[in-house]
Structure 1
């Protein structure tokens, strides 16, 4: 049973509720893919308001312990990569200017991962990539769901490299970057301009060529698609940095 947080609202209470939910996930050994109770049920269990519970869930999404599935709810996401992502995130928080270097590392890891996936991916892994792309497209307009779906899409393809260490390091780096990119919108529950439904076609067109290259076994196309995605992400990160500086 979760301890009651009363009717207090605000970020400190949300962090407290997030800590309680995290404790339940860890102490109960909840398996990955287990669906958490609805926000309404969690609000009743904790005595907090639904907005506070919603913010607590967003905190757990940023930490990588929970993923959001649009129209379905929040699910447990317990992986060894979580602690590595926390370390990378700490390094970034200590030196925000290093985000450019971290994004370069993400490019190098994904480039190698996709190159290997092009030669090693099984039909089932390509199908998993197709499913991840559909989920990604359906998440446009929902920042929390997009973070989970975007990480799932890229990680699914890099895991097809059949190198678990490369996949784990890549996922940690990607997760840290995307959480940094969207942290302000996650905190406020809003949507950035480039993630609005009107941009859905462009976002799909940015990701689909990566999957197509793996499906078609086209290494050159894969490197071009990954590099194009990298440049767009670099632009978004530069906008975030400029906004933070202002």
Structure 2
């Protein structure tokens, strides 16, 4: 995007977005500048790959010093929202799941502690999602879960891993829980754990246990029993954790 179009479409005039571009009168001015730029990114007015205007122009727009702008940009770089590029200036980073997964995935292969942490995050999130799904799932949500389960069941009977169906089942529960942010978080987690999950599903009996876990979760959600759904999901994730960490330990040790 060229700078002239950026001025018109990405950094609107003060009259168009007064709440964003009014002069700032706060003690820690750089924090407010960072917050304004962050909102522009969140609103989609600054998109991945867009270049920030020069510090001087931002300082004039916001009515602050260039030092405050520079400090704000540094904060946003540390947050991973912006990145400096040699000869290009400051650019909005791509925040898609893929861009977050790649560096973490390579670390995960070498770091058993990170694997345990990721599994722990799933245990924090997914039991509550299952409980919420039991209360909020529509008839269409329940039908989708049932179809995914049946596809997984067919594949398991044929000796296939059914990892796509395994992921789809958990996504469908998050969808039924009506929380788009958690759905994106789960998307990243499942991508990070995909290789480990593929290995775990090759452990003798693991496919059948996974299917049984999904059946318990599905029955609880379909029965509108939030407590049972939460307990079934927690049990399912603890079984997964046990297999994955034992598998990781054996590979590290042997």
Shorter-chain TM-score tier: 0.5 to 0.7
| CA–CA separation in structure 2 for the residues paired with 1:171 and 1:138 | 24
| CA–CA separation in structure 1 for the residues paired with 2:109 and 2:143 | 36
| CA–CA separation in structure 1 for the residues paired with 2:145 and 2:104 | 26
Determine if the alignment matches structure 1 residue 194 to structure 2 residue 205: yes
Q: 1:157 aligns with which of 141, 149, 173?
A: 173
Determine if the alignment matches structure 1 residue 174 to structure 2 residue 175: no
Q: 2:160 aligns with which of 113, 122, 142?
A: 142
Determine if the alignment matches structure 1 residue 104 to structure 2 residue 120: yes
| CA–CA separation in structure 1 for the residues paired with 2:203 and 2:196 | 13
| CA–CA separation in structure 2 for the residues paired with 1:184 and 1:116 | 27
Q: 1:220 aligns with which of 220, 227, 236?
A: 227
SS of 2:228's equivalent in the other structure is helix
| CA–CA separation in structure 1 for the residues paired with 2:105 and 2:154 | 27
Conservation of the 8 A alpha-carbon contact between 1:126 and 1:215: yes
Conservation of the 8 A alpha-carbon contact between 1:125 and 1:160: yes
Tell which structure's C-alpha radius of gyration is larger: 2
Moved over 3 A (4+): 80-88
Instruction: Count residues with an aligned counterpart.
Output: 156
RMSD value over aligned CA atoms? 2.2
Match in the other structure for 2:140: 124
Match in the other structure for 1:244: 251
TM-score normalised over the length of structure 1: 0.57
